[in-house]
Each structure stands twice: as C-alpha cells, then as structure tokens.
Structure 1
Amino acid sequence: MEIEIISREFIKPSSPTPSHLKKFPISFIDHITFRNYVPLLFFYNDTKVCDQTSKISNLKNSLAQILSIYYPFAGRFKDQLSIECNDQGVSFLVANIIGTKLSTILQNPTENVLNPLFPDELQWKKMDWNESILVIQINCFACGGFVISVCACHKIIDAATAFNFMNDWAKLNREEGDSNSKFSLPYNSLYAGDTIFPQGNLPNFPEGEFVIDKTIVCKRFVFEASKIKLLKNMVNFDTHAVKNPTRVEVVTSLIYKCVVSVLGLNYKTTSLRMAVDLRKRMVPPLSQKCVGNIVWFLFVMNPELHDLVFKIRQGLCEFREVYPKKFGGKEKDLSFIFECLKQVTTSVSESNSIDQSLIMYASWCRFPMYEADFGWGKPIWVTTSACPVKNAIVLMDTRDGDGIEAIVNMKENDMIMFEHELELLQYASLNPSIIVGHDVANGF
C-alpha cells in the first residue's frame, strides 16, 4: 500500500484560550499515567456528500472550533503535573492512499495494512513533553472512502475521552453552517478531574512506564452476538450463581481460561488487572464527558477457573463501594490513595517476574465509538492497533453493538497456541472480514 502525505500542519483553536485557563492542572490519576499515544482508526464509506477538498476544509474548520472547547489538547505538557494551554495546536496530516481500495483492507484487516494508516508510526510510542498531545491523519482513498486515524496521548486522554472528543468534533462538523445549531459543552462537565482527584500534597509517584516488547504479536478475535448468547448459556457456575452475566463478563472469563490453559499458567497466581471507568460510579456521578483518565484498576486475584464471572461481578461491586468514596467526596482517604498509587506504579514491573503473571485488560464496550458522524454517515468500523505489551487485551463493540471484538496481544509462541485453542474457536472467529452490506461487493 502506497501512502502519499499531501499536507502537514498544526490546527490551532479558533479562539484563544483565556489567560486564567493557561495552566491546566491534571489529576493524581493522570499524574502517574504513561505518555504513550493510544491509536484509533475510524473507517468511513464514500457517501459522495461533497468532494474531498471540501471535506478536508470542513474538518479543519470544525477541529479548530472544537479545540476551543477541548483547549488542553492544543497545549503542551509543562511537566508531569500540568499542561500549558498555549494554543500551539494539534498535528493534522492529510494522506492519499494509492492503489488500494478501502474494501481490500476491510476484507483482510491485518496489522500490515492497518499500521501505515497511522501518522508517523506513533501508535503506542512515548510522547515527548513538547510534542502534540493529539495527532490526526485523514487517509483519503481514490474510491471516496476515508479513514481518520487518531493518536491521543494517554496521559490526559483515556478511551472515553477520545471517543467523546471524536463525537463532539463530528457533531460540530456535521452542524457547521446550520444557523439553528446550539452546540455547546459546559466547562464544568468537561474538566472535573483535578477538582475531584487533585494531586494536592500527595507524593510525586513516578510516571507509568509502558514497556514496549517488539516480539509481541496481535490478533483480533470476534465474538458474534449469537455465540455470546451460547457462551452465556454454557458458562458453568458450579459454586456461585450469577444472574444475567454480561457480554464482557463471559468473554473475559473465556479468554482468561484459555490464556491460563494454553500458556500453562497457574490460575491461583495469574491475576486480571481491569481498568474500571469511575465516571458513573462516583457519588454523585461525574459527567460522562469528563476529560482525563477517570479510571482506576480492579485486581481480580486468585480467580478459580469455574467462577471467574462471579469474581469479576463481586470485585466490581466491592470496587463501587470503596474506591469512588475514598478517592473523592466526604470519605476521601489520602492514605488509601497513597497505597493505591503505590500498587499501580509497581504492579506492571512486577508482572515481568517469573513468579507472577498478570493479564491486563480493558473494556471499551458501551463507549460511543460508532457515533462519530461527520456528516457522511457513522463509521463502518472502529478499531485500534497492536499493543506491544504482553498479555494485554482490549475489548471493543462490534458495529451492531451486540458482539465483541477482542484485540489480544501476546508473545509470538504463546499466540500460536492461543489462536488454535479449540474452546476459544467455538465462540470466536479469528480476524474475519468487515462486512458492510452490499458496499464490499461493489468495491468501495
């Protein structure tokens, strides 16, 4: 696949950031979060709404406008604790894809064809302090299709923030020129992170280190809705009954079981580290639009193979009762926060030891990833790239919202065993084509 970069520039906010907002303090959760770029791809079919030049021009204008609202993204990190909101802008690239149809990629979406769509090979790379917090590349296909690729610095942008930003940018782009549009976002709903989770007098823990392992390979496993329903019926809850297990619970349970089995791990010492969204769990709940890493980590320790779903459900219930209260509000407990920060900043490095195994898992399911309609329809597929960390798993919704795509990252020899696990393949398909009605057949 040949790619030609036809433009590269910085898009600055359409209106300058007020002087009293020039320094943006980040929360104690952002403080320890690594600076690596999280990659996302949004695929769009050709709808012939307008020509390519007009689309790019509209995207630039609406991006400048949305950056006036998400103004920290156009700044630069001053240090580990704050962003200088100096309106330097976000990096914006436009590329032409030569000799490859969008349908060709969707029919066989391998890492080799997806990775070139990202700007400057930034996916999961560590960002320098003075680099753009957000990097966007618009990939234009001769057939009229578009792929918008985004690399967002995880230190201030978690998955929920990234999808919210894309949806708000898309909404503004879609409504640009509409005199009746009343697009607005209240400031307090966006930037509550430092107010709820201030660094204050907490010690400066080291920033998280994202240990990149170039021997890691990534595979995509898709669980269709019918298979998930079957899996729910087949899950054996001998010890504890769990009513109405969720898609995420049963898929996570199956993947964990298969990882432990094929890699010869000990389930008593192989734990799950699960990222949990705090927004709706705080008392009172935070806005779903709240910017930053509004997440914390649930460690499911010593899970028995036959009741992992129960352990996950139980762990989440206990998490809701403890962490939101002690992290913020009237029952805020600084000593508890200290111990939590200490645990998380050491757990990843310890996971590389011989005596401990750790499966790192994040679910992006139910995030509004398929809502980013820029005026030419919602995305036909949303995905991420390979994550070069051992036993890291990301769950994402399928387009219909009922299935799950599991992005699994493992050592090469481990993956060879995992992708041939018979129990896994009863419920999951390995890297199937992205079928979008009659469009693929028409060669869009």
Structure 2
Amino acid sequence: MDMSVACYFINEWADIARNPGEKKCPEFKIASFYPPIDLPVMEIYKPEKVKCISRRLVFNASKIAKLRAIVANEVPNPTRVEVVTALVYKCAISAARASSGSLKSTVMHKAANLRARVIPPFPESSSGNLCGTFPVSTEEDSEIRLVWLARKIKKEKTEYCNSCGREMSAEEFCSFILEDSTGLRSCHGIDQDVCLCSSLRRFPVYKVDFGWGKPAWVTTASCGVKNVITLMDTREGDGIEVPVTLEEKDMAAFEHDVELLAFADINPSALPEIYKLNVLKHNPFSRI
C-alpha cells in the first residue's frame, strides 16, 4: 500500500478503537476504473546496499520563507516542498561529488500521489497503489545552482502532472506507470548517482489517536539504502522535517554543508518542550 492508504487505514483503525460501535469501510473504486491486467515480468530495481548514515533535518517556517524568497527571484511561485527538496538534493549532490572527487551525473526519482491528479480524481481514502515517480536529472560536470534545481523540479513535476491529468484506459494507465518503473530500473548499473525522494506532507499522521492521545513525534525508519530523502510535516504543521539517508562517506560532507546549515537544524530534539516538562513532572527519577 502507499502512504495515502496507510494513513487512512491507521486513522480509521484509531477511530474504531475510540468508537467500537462505528462501522468503517474503505473505498475500492480504483480497480473499477483501472482493472488489473497481466504485466510483463520485469527485473526488480535493487538499490545498492552500502554502509549508510541517517540524519534528521528540520526547517522551521521562517527559514523556509527565506529560502522561498531566494528562489522566487527567478522561479515563479515556488512551493515549500520544491525549495526544500532542491536545497537538500543540491547538498546531497555536492557531498557525493566531494567524497568521490568526480562530477557524476545524478537523477532523483520523486514520488507523486496521483489520486487528485488523474481524471476522474479519487478521494484520499481510495484503497490501492495510485502513485508514480518523475525524474529530475543533472548532467555530468555541470555546476548545480539552487535556483536552477528548484526550477527543474517544478518543470518536471508540472509536465508529469499534465501528462497524467487526462482520461486513460486501464491499458494506457498501466503503460504510464510502467514508464516510471522502467526509468527507475534503467538506472541500475549506470555510473550515476540515484536518489529516491518522497513527500509525506499533509498526511494526517499527527491526528491518529487510539484513545491515549496523539503522537508527540512521527518519523520514518532508515531502510539501509543510500540516497533516500523524505519530507514530512513537523508536529506544529508549519515546518518541514526531512529524514535523509546517505552513504557514510557522503554524510560527513553533507552535514557540514554551510548552505544547508543556514536553513536547517540537524538532529534537534524531537520532543516538544511541553512533553519534556510532563516527563519531569510525572517521573521523579528524571530529576536524579
């Protein structure tokens, strides 16, 4: 299942836990529009597993506003996700180039939730995998500028969304998704850096309540695969938290990047001050 289905399932499960008599039923409309068809057997994309390190970046609202203002000088109406993604991706590229000593080409495969983008659109509660990816590539030996990268991310996203924003038969839709998969698998074995990026923002992960309160902090677990970037909302909703997993030799340069440190805090405390105070209040051993 994709993140949209996972969030819906967990929230509905929590609602049932609080209200046992309430009946919930997910929607299974996707299969009626895009019936399953026989797909060709294709080699599974297997990211290279190496020794990785994960770090958590937190961008507060004021720093994101400054970042948007810089990019907006040349890119019309950049979104919060676009500018943060551009900065993190740029710094990851710089770190990889610094540690390897070469200017290899790179490609970032950015995941996109297609529910609201296809015709007809589907509600977020629709069960099934309805997501795709679009590539954002950089050329070998090219200089990477923040504004240029933000513009490219916006351009690739717009073109991708326009291409899926039309009525398609089941065969056409499967062909559309297969193009994404083929592009991702074709990167395997090529001498270029591949990055996987997804945004889990605006999913109601902080509204989940099984009856003992809402979560203090929600994040993703490291999967042990290098070059993975995930964007999430902070608990307050006005900032962006970015778990990043890179190869160990790349992370050393990444976490000391001056441009990155100007906008992001690295591995700050995840628990809000109110939770820390409650722990001190109710746990006498914490004062020892």
Q: How does 1:125-140 map to 2 (within 5 A)?
A: none
Which range moved further: 160-169 or 212-221?
A: 212-221
Count of residue correspondences: 271
- Deviation, 1:368, is 1.1
Q: Which has the larger radius of gyration?
A: 1
| Matched position secondary structure for 1:350 | coil
1:160 aligns with 2:1: no
Matched with 2:163 is 322
Deviations 1:353-395 (A, max 9, x none): 32x2222100001111111011222111111111222211111
Distance between the aligned counterparts of 1:374 and 1:335, measured in 2? 41
1:307 aligns with 2:136: no
| Matched position secondary structure for 2:243 | strand
1:338 aligns with 2:183: no
Residue 233 and residue 215 in structure 1: after superposition, are their counterparts in 2 closer, same or farther (change >3 A)?
Answer: same
| Matched position secondary structure for 2:276 | coil
- Contact 2:52–2:226, Cα closer than 8 Å, also in 1: yes
* Partner residue of 2:113 out of 259, 277, 280: 277
Residue 392 and residue 321 in structure 1: after superposition, are their counterparts in 2 closer, same or farther (change >3 A)?
Answer: same
Matched with 2:24 is 184
Distance between the aligned counterparts of 1:294 and 1:336, measured in 2? 10
Distance between the aligned counterparts of 2:43 and 2:210, measured in 1? 35
Q: Which runs of 4+ in 1 moved over 4 A?
A: none
With the length of structure 2 as denominator, give the TM-score of the two structures. 0.84
Q: How does 1:365-444 map to 2 (within 5 A)?
A: 365-443=201-279
- Contact 1:393–1:409, Cα closer than 8 Å, also in 2: yes
Report % sequence identity.
36
Distance between the aligned counterparts of 1:261 and 1:174, measured in 2? 48
- Contact 1:391–1:410, Cα closer than 8 Å, also in 2: yes
- Contact 1:218–1:387, Cα closer than 8 Å, also in 2: no
Distance between the aligned counterparts of 1:405 and 1:302, measured in 2? 25
Give the RMSD, CA atoms, in angstroms: 2.5
| Matched position secondary structure for 1:394 | strand
1:255 aligns with 2:97: no
Amino acid at match of 1:256: Y
| Structure 2 unaligned spans of 5+ | 283-288
- Deviation, 1:218, is 1.2
- Contact 2:207–2:214, Cα closer than 8 Å, also in 1: yes
Matched with 1:196 is 33
Q: Which has the higher helix share?
A: 2
Q: Which has the higher strand share?
A: 1
* Partner residue of 1:295 out of 125, 131, 138: 131
1:206 aligns with 2:50: no
Amino acid at match of 1:399: R
Answer 1 or 2: higher relative contact order, Cα 8 Å, separation at least 6: 2
